[in-house]
Structure 1
Amino acid sequence: MHTPSLPAAAPHSARGKPALAKAANLALPIALAVLVGGTAYAGADTTFNPALTMFTDFLEGSGGKIITVLSLAGGLIALASGRFALGQVAVPVGVGIGVGTGVPIVTSVVTAVI
C-alpha cells in the first residue's frame, strides 16, 4: 500500500508573502481613506434645512391649526357617541399644545444636542 508523502516545507521567503499580502490588503484601503477623506463636522450639513423649515412652518401655521381642529372634531364625535372618556378631551388639548409649543421645543433641543 502506498502512503502519500507530505509536501516539503516551504522556504522562509514563501511563508512571508501571505503575511505581506495581508498587510498590503489592509494598508491600501486605509491609505486611500486618509488621502481621499475630507474633514467632517457634526451638524455642519444643511442638506435638509429647506425641508425642516417648510415642515416647522406648516406645523406652526395653518397646518397645526387644521390638525388641532381635526383632533377636536374627533373628540367631539366620540363624546356624541354617548360614552365619556377623559381621553376624548385630553387628546385634542394635548395635540393643540404639542403642535403650538412642541415644535419650537423639539427643534431647539435637537439643535442643542447636535
Structure 2
Amino acid sequence: MGLLSLDRRRYWRLADIAVPCVGLALAAGAAMAGTDTTFDTALTMFTDFLEGSGGKIITVLSLAGGIVGLASGRFSLGQIAVPVGVGVGVGTGVPIVTSTITALI
C-alpha cells in the first residue's frame, strides 16, 4: 500500500508541472524572424562602439589588468592569454557574430 501511494504522489507532481506547460505551449504565438527593424538602431550603435574606440578601450583595460597581475609577482598564462583573447574577440568577433546572425535569419 505504501508503494502505491508513493507512485500516485509522483504522478500528481508530474501533472502539476505538465498541465501548465501544455497550456502555455497552446497559448504561445508564432515567432517570426523577418524584416522587423525594432532594434536596428541599438544594434548599429553597439557594433560601432565595439568595432571602434570602445573595443580599443576594452582591450587596453584588459591588457592593463594583465600587466598589473604580472607586476604583482605571480605569473599566469591567463594574464597574457586573456588580453590577447579579448583583443581578438573584440576585433573579429563582432563581424563574425553579425554575419552569422544575418546568415541564419
TM, length-normalised to structure 1? 0.63
Which of 66, 69, 79 matches 1:75?
66
Letter in 2 for 1:70: L
Alpha-carbon distance in 2 for matches of 1:77, 1:104: 30
Find the aligned partners of 1:75 and 1:86 in 2 and give their Cα distance: 10
Tell me the equivalent position of 2:54. Answer: 63
Question: Unpaired runs of 5+ in structure 2?
Answer: 1-30
Specify which structure has the higher proportion of helix.
2
1:74-103 deviation digits (Å, cap 9, x = unpaired): 000000110110000000000000000000
Aligned-residue CA RMSD (Å)? 1.2
CA–CA separation in structure 2 for the residues paired with 1:43 and 1:84: 49
In structure 1, runs of 5+ residues without a counterpart are 1-39
The residue that corresponds to 2:90 in the other structure is: 99
Runs of 4+, deviation exceeding 6 Å:
none
| Most deviating of 52-61 and 42-51 | 42-51
Counterpart Cα distance in 2 of 1:51 and 1:107: 13
What is the TM-score normalised by the length of structure 2? 0.69
State, as a whole percentage, how many aligned pairs show the same letter. 83
